[in-house]
C-alpha cells in the first residue's frame, strides 16, 4: 500500500507522542508509520481486533493494538469481542485461549514460534499421571498451558486470580501445574497444600532477591512489585506480588517516588510511557518468546490470512478445555 508524505508524517507524529519517552525518535517513527497505517486499515477492512500482551514492544502496543493487558484481561476481551478476526500478539497459549473462547472466529498468532517455557514443559499425559497419583485432589492449571493440559484440568487460573481461585477451594490439597514457584508463593498466601509440577518461567526464575535490599538502600521509599512467577525469596522481599495488571493498578494508585517491577521489561516500558512523572528502576529481563512478534508479522497475517498462523484446536480437546476457562470466569467474578 502507498501512503502520502502527509499521511506518514501525521502517523509518525502520533506514534512519537506515545513512544518518544521510550527513546523512539521521530525518524524511527517515520520508518514504521507505513506499517502501522496499513495494519490499521486492514483491521477495519477485515473487522479484525489486535490483542497485545503488556510484554509486547511499544510499536505494537501504541501502533496497532486495540487492547493491551494481562492474560486474564485479554481473555475477557477475547470472550467479548464482536470482531470476526482476532490477532493475538502475545504467546501461543494466549492465542489458543482466545480460540477456545471463540470457536467460530479466525484467531491468528503472528509468530507460531512464540512458545512459553511453562506451557512447553508439561503434557496432558503428565497431568493424567498426577491425577492418578493424587486421587480426589482438584487440578488447577495456570493459563500458561496448552489446550490439551487445560482439557485435563478442573479449573484454569491466571496470576490475576490464582490466589482467589485456589484460596476459595474447599479442598485442602490441590494440584497446581506447571509453575513450581507460583505454587509455593500461592501456598504461602492461601495456606493450602499444593502439589506442584516442577517447571518455571525462563524470565522470572533468575531474579535475585538479594538485589532488592541494595535497591531499597539506594532508593528510599521504593516499592518493589514482583510477578508471582518469581522465586519465593524474591516474592517475600517485595511489597506486592501478583500479575502484570496488579502491578499496573498498584503504580496508578501509589504516590511512592519510585517503583521496581520485577518482571519482563515490556511492562516497565509501558508504565514508563503512561506515568512519565514516576520513576522506574530497572530489574527486568526480556522474554525471548514474547519478543518473536513484530509489526511485519502482524501485517503478514492480516494481509494474507496465513493458514499456518491460524490457531486450530481439535474439537474434543476444545470442549473440555473451554470448561476449565468457564470455571475460571465463574470463580473469579
Ligand atoms: P500475566 O497474566 O500477569 O500477564 O502474565 C503472563 C505471563 O506470561 C507472565 O510471564
Ligand atoms: Fe512464558 Fe515466562 Fe515468557 Fe511469560 S515471560 S510467556 S511465563 S516464558
Instruction: Give ligand 2 pocket residues (Cβ under 6 A).
Output: 91, 116-118, 144, 201-203, 229, 264, 287, 289-290
Quick one: CATH architecture of 209-285?
A: 3-Layer(aba) Sandwich (3.40)
**Which pLDDT band holds residue 210 (cuts at 50, 70, 90)?**
confident
Instruction: Give ligand 1 pocket residues (Cβ under 6 A).
Output: 70-72, 144, 158-159, 201, 227, 229, 243-244
Closest ligand to the CA of 200: 2
Domain extents in the chain: 5-114+290-309, 127-200, 209-285
Question: Model's pTM, two decimal places?
Answer: 0.96
Q: Residue 3 C-alpha to ligand 1 middle, in angstroms?
A: 37
- Asked if residue 40 lies in contact with residue 303, where contact means CB atoms within 8 angstroms, the answer is no
The three cell numbers of residue 322 are: 473451554
pLDDT above 90 (res 254): yes
- Asked if residue 36 lies in contact with residue 64, where contact means CB atoms within 8 angstroms, the answer is yes
pLDDT at position 112 is 97
Pick the residue whose CA is nearest to atom 6 on ligand 1: 71
Average pLDDT over residues 206-229: 94
Q: Cis peptide leading into 182, omega within 30 of 0?
A: no
pLDDT at position 1 is 87
Rounded to the nearest integer, the mean pLDDT of the chain is 96
pLDDT above 90 (res 283): no
Tell the CATH topology of 5-114+290-309: Rossmann fold (3.40.50)
Closest ligand to the CA of 91: 2
- Superfamily of segment(s) 127-200: NadA-like (3.40.50.10800)
Measured CA to CA, the distance from residue 195 to residue 4 in angstroms comes to 60
pLDDT at position 333 is 84
Helix or strand (DSSP H, E) at 184: helix 180-190
- Ligand 2: atom nearest CA of 116 is 1
232-246 pLDDT, tens per residue? 999 999 999 999 999
Domains 127-200 and 209-285 belong to one CATH topology: yes
pLDDT at position 284 is 85
Distances (CA, A) of 221 to 85, 171, 215, 248: 45, 40, 10, 18
Average pLDDT over residues 161-181: 97
Residue-wise DSSP of 5-47: HHHHHHHHHHHHHHHGGGT--HHHHHHHHHHHHHHHHHHHHHT
- Asked if residue 239 lies in contact with residue 268, where contact means CB atoms within 8 angstroms, the answer is no
Residue 251 burial by Cβ neighbours in a 10 Å radius (0-12, 13-18, 19+): buried
84-119 pLDDT, tens per residue? 999 999 999 999 999 999 999 999 999 999 999 999
Measured CA to CA, the distance from residue 72 to residue 273 in angstroms comes to 22
Amino acid at each position: 500500500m502507498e501512503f502520502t508524505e502527509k499521511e506518514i508524517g501525521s502517523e509518525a507524529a502520533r506514534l512519537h507522542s506515545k513512544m518518544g519517552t521510550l527513546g523512539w525518535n521521530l525518524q524511527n517513527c517515520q520508518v514504521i508509520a507505513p506499517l502501522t497505517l496499513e495494519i490499521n486499515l486492514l483491521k477495519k477492512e477485515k473487522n479484525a481486533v489486535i490483542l497485545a500482551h503488556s510484554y509486547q514492544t511499544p510499536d505494537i502496543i501504541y501502533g496497532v493494538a486495540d487492547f493491551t493487558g494481562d492474560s486474564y484481561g485479554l481473555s475477557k476481551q477475547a470472550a467479548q469481542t464482536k470482531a470476526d478476526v482476532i490477532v493475538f500478539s502475545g504467546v501461543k497459549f494466549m492465542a489458543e485461549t482466545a480460540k477456545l473462547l471463540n470457536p467460530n472466529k479466525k484467531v491468528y498468532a503472528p509468530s507460531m514460534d512464540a512458545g512459553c517455557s511453562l506451557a512447553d514443559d508439561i503434557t496432558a499425559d503428565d497431568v493424567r499421571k498426577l491425577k492418578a497419583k493424587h486421587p480426589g485432589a482438584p487440578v488447577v492449571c495456570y493459563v500458561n498451558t496448552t489446550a490439551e493440559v487445560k482439557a485435563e484440568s478442573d479449573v484454569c487460573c491466571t496470576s490475576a486470580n490464582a490466589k482467589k481461585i485456589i484460596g476459595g477451594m474447599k479442598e485442602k490439597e490441590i494440584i497446581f501445574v506447571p509453575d513450581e514457584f507460583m505454587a509455593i508463593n500461592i501456598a504461602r498466601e492461601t495456606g493450602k497444600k499444593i502439589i506442584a509440577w516442577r517447571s518455571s518461567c525462563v524470565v522470572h526464575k533468575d531474579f535475585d532477591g538479594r538485589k532488592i535490599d541494595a535497591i531499597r538502600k539506594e532508593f528510599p521509599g521504593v516499592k518493589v512489585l514482583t510477578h508471582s512467577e518469581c522465586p519465593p525469596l524474591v516474592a517475600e522481599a517485595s511489597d506486592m506480588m501478583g500479575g502484570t495488571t496488579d502491578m499496573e493498578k498498584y503504580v496508578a494508585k501509589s504516590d511512592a517516588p519510585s517503583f521496581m517491577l520485577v518482571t519482563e521489561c515490556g511492562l516497565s516500558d509501558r508504565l514508563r510511557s503512561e506515568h512519565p512523572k514516576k520513576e522506574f528502576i530497572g530489574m527486568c529481563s526480556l522474554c525471548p518468546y514474547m519478543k518473536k512478534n513484530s509489526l511485519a508479522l502482524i501485517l503478514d497475517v492480516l494481509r494474507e490470512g496465513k493458514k499456518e498462523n491460524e490457531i486450530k484446536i481439535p474439537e474434543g480437546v476444545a470442549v473440555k478445555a473451554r470448561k476449565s476457562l468457564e470455571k475460571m470466569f465463574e470463580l473469579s467474578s
